Structures are given as structure tokens and as C-alpha cells.
């Protein structure tokens, strides 16, 4: 297991370096002079020169890159152009809210996907299966920037069951978590159903039945356990969608997380903050994928032996 872990970590190193490089280059993709874009063309020439020097944009590109890497090693993500506060501090203040929302969305997805997937696979081609599949396809087709306002309209404005926006109580979390989690639930339901149906045709399932095991035991203990592997991998892939989805969901519900901070940074052209947010979200995704790979290795011992 240790060798497997080391191998996975070694594979993640070039990916992380690539992510860091792309995020570094982001400012250099800005058409024209990035300082003009950030401060406006009418800004005083002294202010422009100061910012250019502060961001190191007056140095050759390789030197800027080396400096950026050194700063990152120290945990320095630069300084926000607008609040003048360190980007790291701004992100650290917002990160827990995003994790709270993403965690709740994941829980929502699992609570919906597991029962729906089980019901659909237990009675394939039945009415229950058709309903579960229909719900899943509908969920997958509903963009969260439309679902969010719809949920607000029904549950916050119409029924007054939840607050419209903000963070504070459990009630505040319900609608954003549903908005973010329903799409993921749809994908997982379809995956779980398909994998369970595949597994139910395997020889060991027939053996389990032949040995006298009941349907519930065969289904839950043998089939579900083996169907967990692909579902875990989808979970890892979907975590990326979840993290990126927070930008829209947090904007809709005024949730004070990194997603909303990213959009505010984009709108105010605060590029050091944009870079910091994008880097942190991308690295979080790399870590989640790494964790998924490790979990995959724990669940399936054959993978650990692969070169």
C-alpha cells in the first residue's frame, strides 16, 4: 500500500506543477497591458509603476515565474488589489464556508442517489425504474443556475420554509446544498444503477443465491459492495464539478465562500485574488482526486499491484 501511495503522490507532482504554471500564466493572457486592465488606463503612472513592480511584471518572465514559485513555497499568494489584504488570509476566511457547502451537497447527492439507484436496479424496466431514471436524467439536465432560482421561488419565497440567501443556520444550507447536490445525485444514480445491473449478472451473485442467501443480502452485501468502486471514481470526478459549481451556487445564494470571492475578484479585476482562488480550487480538486485514487486502492487490492 505504501508503494502505491508513493506512486500516486509522485504522479501528482507534475500535475500540481502544471496547475501552478497555468495559474501563473493567467495574468499574462490578459490582452494588452495587464496593469491597465487592473487599474484602468486613466490611473496615475506612478500607481501603475508601483503595481507593476509589486507584481514583478517589470521583470523577465522566467524570473517572474521563479519568484512566483518561491512565494508559493512560503504560502504567499500575493496581496489583493482592492482590499490590500493578503490573498491567503482572504481565502482562508472563506474556505470553511465552501467546504461546508460542498460537504452538504455531497451528503444530499448520496442520500438521493443510493436509494434511487438501488430501487432502479432492483426492479429493472419497472415503473419504479422508469421514474428513478427519469428523475436522474431530469436532474442531470437542469443547470444549477436555473435550479437555484427555482428552489428559491418555491421554498423560500412561496412556502417560506427557508431563508432566501446567506449563511448562518442549517436552514440557510438546505437550498444551496440541494442546488449543488441534485446534479451530482443524478449522475451517481445512473452510474449506480448501471454498475449494479452489471454486477447482478456476475457468477458470484449466482453462487451466493445457490448457497441460499436472500435477495436483500445478495443485493446489499455482494452486489452493492462491488458496485461501489466505479461509484467512488465518479464521486472523485464529480467533486471537481462540485467545487467549480460553488462559484454559481454561492453567487445565487450569497454564500460567503471561495466561489463568490472568485466572482467578485473577476468583476473587480483583482487578478492576484483571481489567481489565488483558482489555484486553491484546482489544488483542492487534485487532492480530492488523489484521495479518490487512494480510496480506490484500498477498496480494490488489485490496483495496488499495478505498475
Positions in the binding site for other proteins (CB under 8 A): 14-16, 18-19, 21-23, 26-27, 29-31, 137-138, 140-143, 145-146, 149-150, 152-153, 157, 187, 234, 237-238, 240-241, 243-245, 247-248, 251-252, 262-263, 266-267, 271, 274, 278, 281-282, 285-286, 289
Instruction: Give least dist CB 154 to other proteins, A.
Output: 10
Query: At what angle are helices 271-299 and 2-26 packed, to 10 degrees?
Result: 160
Distance (Å, whole) CA 267 – CA 282: 20
Q: Which is nearer to other proteins, 68 or 219 (CB)?
A: 68
Q: How far apart are CA 4 and CA 94, in angstroms?
A: 34
Closer to other proteins by CB, 223 or 270: give it: 270
- Partners of 79 in the beta sheet? 86
Q: Decide whether 218 or 246 has the Cβ nearer to other proteins.
A: 246
Shorter beta-carbon distance to other proteins: residue 95 or 209: 95
Q: Least CB distance from residue 149 to other proteins, whole Å?
A: 5
Using only C-alpha atoms, the chain has a radius of gyration, in whole angstroms, of 24
CB of 293 to other proteins, least distance (A): 12
Whether residue 259 contacts residue 246, with contact meaning beta carbons closer than 8 Å, is answered with: yes
- Comparing CB distances to other proteins, the nearer of 16 and 295 is 16
Instruction: Tell me the closest approach of the beta carbon of residue 183 to other proteins, in angstroms.
Output: 9
Q: Phi and psi for 79 in degrees, rounded to 5?
A: -125, 140
SS (H, E, C) 262-289: HHHHHHCCCHHHHHHHHHHHHHHHHHHH
Amino acid at each position: 500500500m505504501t508503494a502505491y501511495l508513493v506512486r500516486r503522490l509522485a504522479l501528482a507532482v507534475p500535475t500540481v506543477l502544471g496547475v501552478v504554471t497555468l495559474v501563473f500564466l493567467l495574468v499574462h493572457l490578459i490582452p494588452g497591458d495587464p496593469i491597465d486592465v487592473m487599474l484602468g488606463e486613466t490611473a496615475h503612472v506612478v500607481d501603475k509603476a508601483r503595481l507593476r513592480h509589486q507584481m514583478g511584471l517589470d521583470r523577465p518572465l522566467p524570473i517572474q515565474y521563479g519568484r512566483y514559485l518561491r512565494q508559493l513555497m512560503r504560502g504567499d499568494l500575493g496581496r489583493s488589489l482592492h482590499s490590500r489584504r493578503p490573498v491567503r488570509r482572504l481565502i482562508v476566511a472563506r474556505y470553511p464556508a465552501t467546504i461546508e457547502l460542498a460537504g452538504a451537497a455531497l451528503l444530499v447527492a448520496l442520500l438521493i442517489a443510493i436509494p434511487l439507484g438501488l430501487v432502479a436496479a432492483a426492479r429493472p424496466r419497472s415503473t419504479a425504474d422508469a421514474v428513478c431514471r427519469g428523475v436522474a436524467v431530469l436532474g442531470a439536465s437542469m443547470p444549477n443556475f436555473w435550479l437555484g432560482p427555482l428552489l428559491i421561488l418555491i421554498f423560500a419565497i412561496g412556502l417560506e420554509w427557508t431563508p432566501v440567501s446567506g449563511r448562518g443556520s442549517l436552514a440557510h444550507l438546505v437550498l444551496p446544498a440541494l442546488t449543488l447536490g441534485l446534479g451530482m445525485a443524478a449522475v451517481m444514480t445512473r452510474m449506480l444503477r448501471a454498475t449494479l445491473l452489471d454486477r447482478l449478472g456476475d457468477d458470484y451473485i449466482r453462487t451466493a443465491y445457490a448457497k441460499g442467501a436472500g435477495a436483500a443480502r445478495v443485493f446489499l452485501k455482494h452486489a452493492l459492495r462491488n458496485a461501489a468502486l466505479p461509484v467512488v471514481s465518479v464521486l472523485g470526478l464529480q467533486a471537481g464539478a462540485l467545487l467549480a459549481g460553488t462559484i454559481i451556487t454561492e453567487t445565487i445564494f450569497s454564500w460567503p465562500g471561495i466561489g463568490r470571492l472568485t466572482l467578485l475578484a473577476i468583476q473587480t479585476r483583482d487578478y492576484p485574488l483571481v489567481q489565488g482562488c483558482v489555484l486553491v480550487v484546482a489544488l483542492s480538486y487534485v487532492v480530492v482526486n488523489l484521495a479518490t485514487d487512494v480510496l480506490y486502492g484500498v477498496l480494490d487490492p488489485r490496483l495496488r499491484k499495478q505498475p
